[in-house]
C-alpha cells in the first residue's frame, strides 16, 4: 500500500478526509494527536502534569478541538502536543512519522516543518486540506505552509478544498485516481 500524508490547519477537514479515504479506499490511518496522547505519556506528563494527561488519555477518541477547548489546564493543548512530538522527534526528526507509517498507511496531521523535511520521502502522496475562510491555527502548533510543501514535494501534492462543498469528496477521488 502506498503511504499518504494529510496536512492542513486544525478543523479544516483532515479527519473527514481520512475517514472517507479509509472507507472508500481501505487506507488505514493514525492522527498525530491521538498517537501523541497514547504513546508520548512521559513527555506529556512532564509538560502538562498527570491530571491533565489523564483527562486527555481518557478522552482521546473525542473531537480533540472540543477536548482542548474544555481542558482545565489553561494552555493551548495543540501547542503542548506539538512540543511533545518535537521532543519525541529529537534527535530523529522523523521518529513519529516512522512510528505511524509502521502501523498505518496514512499519517493525519503532521505539525512540524522539520518533521516534514525529515520524512517527506517516506510518503508517496500528500494531500493538503484547506477550508477557505476558516481560522488558521497558531504557528506554535502548526508551522508548515502550503508553500513549504510545494517546494519540497510539488510532484506528489494534491490540494483539496472546503469539506463543506459537494466537490470535496470528488476532489479526493481525483487525487486518489492519480496515485493508485
- Paired with 6 in beta bridges are 108, 127
pLDDT, averaged across the chain: 88
Asked whether the predicted pLDDT for residue 62 surpasses 80, the reply is no
Using one digit for the tens of pLDDT, what is the confidence trace for 68-103?
555 544 346 778 889 999 999 999 999 999 999 999
- At 56 the pLDDT is 73
- At 37 the pLDDT is 83
CB 22 within 8 A of CB 104: no
Nearest residue to 122 via CA among 103, 104, 101: 101
Domain ranges of the chain: 4-179
- At 43 the pLDDT is 87
pTM of the model: 0.88
- At 70 the pLDDT is 54
| CATH class held by domain 4-179 | alpha beta
- At 61 the pLDDT is 55
Using one digit for the tens of pLDDT, what is the confidence trace for 20-46?
999 999 999 999 988 888 888 888 888
DSSP for the chain?
Answer: ---EEEE--TTSSHHHHHHHHHHHH---EEEHHHHHHHH-HHHHHHHH-HHHHHHHHHTTTS-HHHHHHH-SS-S-HHHHHHHHHHHHTSS-TTHHHHHHHHH-SEEE----HHHHHHHGGG-SEEEEEE-TTSPPPPTTT----HHHHHHHHGGGEEEEE-TTSTTHHHHHHHHHHHH-
- Work out the pLDDT band at 67, boundaries 50, 70, 90: low
- At 107 the pLDDT is 98
Amino acid at each position: 500500500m502506498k503511504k499518504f500524508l494529510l496536512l492542513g490547519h486544525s478543523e479544516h477537514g483532515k479527519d473527514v478526509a481520512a475517514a472517507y479515504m479509509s472507507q472508500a479506499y481501505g487506507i488505514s490511518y493514525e492522527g498525530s494527536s491521538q498517537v501523541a496522547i497514547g504513546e508520548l505519556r512521559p513527555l506529556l506528563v512532564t509538560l502538562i502534569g498527570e491530571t491533565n494527561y489523564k483527562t486527555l488519555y481518557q478522552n482521546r477518541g473525542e473531537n480533540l478541538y472540543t477536548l482542548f477547548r474544555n481542558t482545565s489546564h489553561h494552555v493551548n493543548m495543540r501547542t503542548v502536543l506539538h512540543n511533545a512530538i518535537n521532543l519525541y522527534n529529537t534527535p530523529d526528526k522523523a521518529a513519529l512519522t516512522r512510528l505511524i507509517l509502521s502501523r498505518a498507511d496514512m499519517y493525519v496531521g503532521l505539525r512540524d516543518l522539520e518533521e516534514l523535511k525529515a520524512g517527506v520521502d517516506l510518503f508517496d502522496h500528500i494531500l493538503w486540506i484547506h477550508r477557505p475562510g476558516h481560522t488558521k491555527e497558531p504557528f506554535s502548533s502548526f508551522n508548515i505552509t502550503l508553500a513549504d510543501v510545494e517546494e519540497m514535494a510539488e510532484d506528489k501534492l494534491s490540494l483539496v478544498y472546503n469539506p463543506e462543498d459537494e466537490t470535496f469528496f470528488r476532489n479526493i477521488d481525483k487525487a486518489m485516481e492519480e496515485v493508485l
